[in-house]
């Protein structure tokens, strides 16, 4: 099982050191993704889901080369029922409606992500493609292709990993770097443990924090700890009353 906390840290570290190795390829794609009309459509979906518009943009590019006829979920046409995983979605009335469904109702449920740090963002994107690379301790080309953080290794088909194959698609991290160089509004939040439910290493199940009402209040003058001198004094005055 992949330790997501460790993966977030690893992705944040890689991003801090990453350099584009195919900058000439990234630039025109980045311009297209941050273009006024495209950005407006991404912002419409962002307003409905809470997913940052630039994250929606890179998913759109990776899943269907920014085709407005393709679903954000897997690239299938959104005006008919999808046949690839996640299958059986749709048809939808618009690209935007399909995008909302992909982000809200399909794994990895991007709309639920609250960690908008670069490590959290890249790990969400990696989960979108699958954690097969992370389970091998290898950088995912879905994220790092086109940067110096990736050399080779690719799943050439389901369940078949070729360590010598090289992914020719541009990765999400490089796209975000190239987009941020053009659009200064692209910013990431601070990493915070409170943004993400911790995972139990053995089971992988999220730890559900206790509801504040169920947590005993800290001892104080008005709420002394049982058995303390303060509790005895409070009891004495209560009896006297």
Helix (H), strand (E), coil (C) string for 111-125? HHCCCCCHHHHHHHH
- Residue pair 186/39 in contact (Cβ under 8 Å)? The answer is no
Residue 196 pLDDT more than 70? Answer: no
Task: For residues 42-62, give the mean pLDDT.
Answer: 97
- Residue pair 8/123 in contact (Cβ under 8 Å)? The answer is yes
In a domain, 203, yes or no: no
Q: With bands split at pLDDT 50, 70 and 90, how would you rate the model's confidence at 207?
A: very low
Residue scoring higher pLDDT (217 or 133): 133
Beta bridge partners of 150: none
Burial (0-12, 13-18, 19+ Cβ within 10 Å), 211: exposed
Count the domains in the chain.
2
Task: For residues 112-125, give the mean pLDDT.
Answer: 96
Please tell me whether the overall predicted TM-score, pTM, comes out greater than 0.75 for this model: yes
In a domain, 210, yes or no: no
Portion of the chain with pLDDT greater than 70, in percent: 79
Same structural domain for residues 79 and 145? yes
In a domain, 200, yes or no: no
Same structural domain for residues 123 and 189? yes
In a domain, 202, yes or no: no
**Could you tell me which of 224, 206, 2 has the C-alpha nearest to residue 123?**
2
The residue range of the domain holding 67 is 4-195
Residue 80 pLDDT more than 80? Answer: yes
In a domain, 208, yes or no: no
Q: Say what the pLDDT of residue 223 is.
A: 52
Same structural domain for residues 66 and 21? yes
Task: For residues 114-139, give the mean pLDDT.
Answer: 95
Q: Say what the pLDDT of residue 240 is.
A: 45
């Amino acid at each position: 099982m992949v330790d997501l906390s460790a993966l977030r840290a690893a992705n944040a570290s890689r991003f801090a050191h990453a350099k584009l190795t195919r900058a000439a390829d990234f630039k025109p794609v980045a311009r297209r993704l941050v273009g006024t009309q495209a950005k407006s459509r991404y912002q419409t979906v962002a307003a409905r889901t809470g997913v940052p518009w630039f994250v929606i943009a890179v998913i759109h590019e990776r899943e269907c080369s920014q085709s407005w006829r393709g679903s954000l979920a897997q690239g299938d046409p959104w005006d008919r029922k999808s046949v690839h995983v996640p299958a059986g979605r749709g048809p939808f009335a618009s690209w935007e409606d399909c995008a909302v469904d992909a982000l809200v109702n399909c794994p990895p449920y991007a709309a639920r992500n609250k960690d908008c740090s670069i490590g959290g963002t890249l790990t969400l994107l990696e989960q979108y493609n699958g954690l097969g690379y992370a389970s091998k301790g290898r950088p995912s080309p879905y994220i790092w292709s086109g940067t110096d953080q990736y050399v080779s290794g690719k799943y050439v088909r389901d369940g078949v990993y070729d360590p010598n194959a090289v992914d020719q698609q541009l990765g999400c991290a490089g796209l975000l770097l190239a987009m941020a160089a053009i659009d200064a509004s692209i910013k990431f939040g601070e990493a915070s443990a409170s943004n993400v439910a911790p995972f139990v290493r053995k089971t992988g199940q999220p730890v559900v924090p206790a509801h504040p009402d169920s947590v005993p209040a800290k001892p104080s003058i008005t709420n002394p700890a049982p058995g303390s001198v303060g509790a005895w004094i409070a009891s004495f005055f209560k009896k006297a009353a």
